[in-house]
Amino acid sequence: MDRDQTDKDDEASAHERPTLKTLAFMTGLGVTTVSRALKDAPEIGAETRRRVQLVARQIGYRPNRAGVRLRTGKTNVISLVLNTEREIMSFVSDIIYGVSEVIADTPYHLIVTPYSRSQDPLDPIRYLVETGSADGVIISRTQPNDPRARYMLERGIPFATHGRTDMGLIHPYHDFDNYAFAAEAVRHLAGIGRRRLALLTPPVGLTYHGHTVNGFADALSEVGASEVPFNTVSIDHSIEQIRMRTAQLMRRDDRPDGFVSSAAAATLAVVAGIEDAGLKLGRDVDVVSKQSSDLLHLFRRELLVVNENFRLAGSELARSVLGLIGGAAPGSLQSLSLPGEVVAYQG
């Protein structure tokens, strides 16, 4: 009959949020038992377990995140680390939704951790790790020798990268096969008679820059076409810069008759540059571009596109991180997404 002691907060007052104590009081059990019953521990009787879970469901019990986090260190948080200046727009939106889809029926929350141009990309990672703010991290703009991946690997922080590294270390990743993309693009252009091709590359330094460049180069020699160097800009540059450089290039005698572009927004600039030079898409030059949403064909129907699904990337990355947290082998959490066909406009 020691009830009078603890009743103070459980019995009275309209509707506080229920805790284990509330459940313990309602079921007549101890908090420990309740805690265990809720997580299906083996030393709890079958009927007790059911009873506790029933009551918990009825009154809408939700474990207090701060309590769990303080006691166990588990945050139930996945952090998506993004560059606030250079990230592709549709990428941000789609990857967030992709991640959300996967964590929707888990206890995980998604926090967005931004960093800006001026900062060391390692800064936000250090912050997350030092403050223990997340159980898992997703990073993009991955480099062949990526200090962030190395850092987290050293400290055993679960993470997944969008894009591969090349450090001889195994970690989860999701990547789009940009080698295949660039190669397919070149083959397609060669197939329609283009022989002098230029490549608007991904940002120099990122892993997929190398992949793209290699796919482009290998396919060039395969089909016997030649490259017109276009190294003054990458898709990271401003629309204006890309446009200006493209126009410059297209006014030369040795101008390309085909382009491969690694991003949709950059392609808009390339086309503008082409037209600035008085040339016509589809007649004087063809352009194959990646895109993540179906907009380029509205822009110019002569464009040739290859689709990259960022929402899928988000889902895969989230699945990987959760898998890793769950104890799966990092090597089993790597995925590569193959590009579809180069597709022309179909009215």
90 binds, among a copy of itself, DNA, none (CB under 5 to 8 A by kind): a copy of itself
120 binds, among a copy of itself, DNA, none (CB under 5 to 8 A by kind): none
Contact between 59 and DNA (CB under 7 A)? no
Residue 66 CB, nearest approach to a copy of itself (Å):
4
Residue 47 main-chain phi, psi, to 5 deg: -70, -45
Strands (E), the chain: 77-83, 109-115, 136-139, 159-162, 173-176, 196-200, 226-227, 258-261, 286-291, 304-307, 334-337
DSSP state of 332: G
Contact between 245 and DNA (CB under 7 A)? no
43 binds, among a copy of itself, DNA, none (CB under 5 to 8 A by kind): DNA
Q: In whole angstroms, what is the distance from residue 38 CA to residue 31 CA? A: 11
CA distances from 182 to 58, 274, 340, 344 (A): 56, 20, 12, 16
Cα dihedral sign, 143-148-149-151: positive
User: Which residue stretch of 9-17, 117-125, 154-162, 191-199 sits at the interface with DNA (rule: CB under 7 A)?
Assistant: 9-17
Residue 56 CB, nearest approach to DNA (Å):
10
Contact between 66 and DNA (CB under 7 A)? yes
What is the CB neighbour count within 10 angstroms for residue 62?
A: 10
Minimal CA–CA distance to 109: which of 71, 139, 72, 79? 79
Q: In whole angstroms, what is the distance from residue 197 CA to residue 45 CA? A: 71
Residue 225 CB, nearest approach to a copy of itself (Å):
28
Query: How many chain residues bind DNA (CB under 7 A)?
Result: 29
Q: Which is nearer to a copy of itself, 63 or 203 (CB)?
A: 63
Contact between 71 and DNA (CB under 7 A)? yes
Contact between 44 and DNA (CB under 7 A)? yes
Residues that bind DNA (CB under 7 A): 9, 16-17, 19-21, 28-33, 35-36, 38-39, 43-46, 48, 63-64, 66-68, 70-72
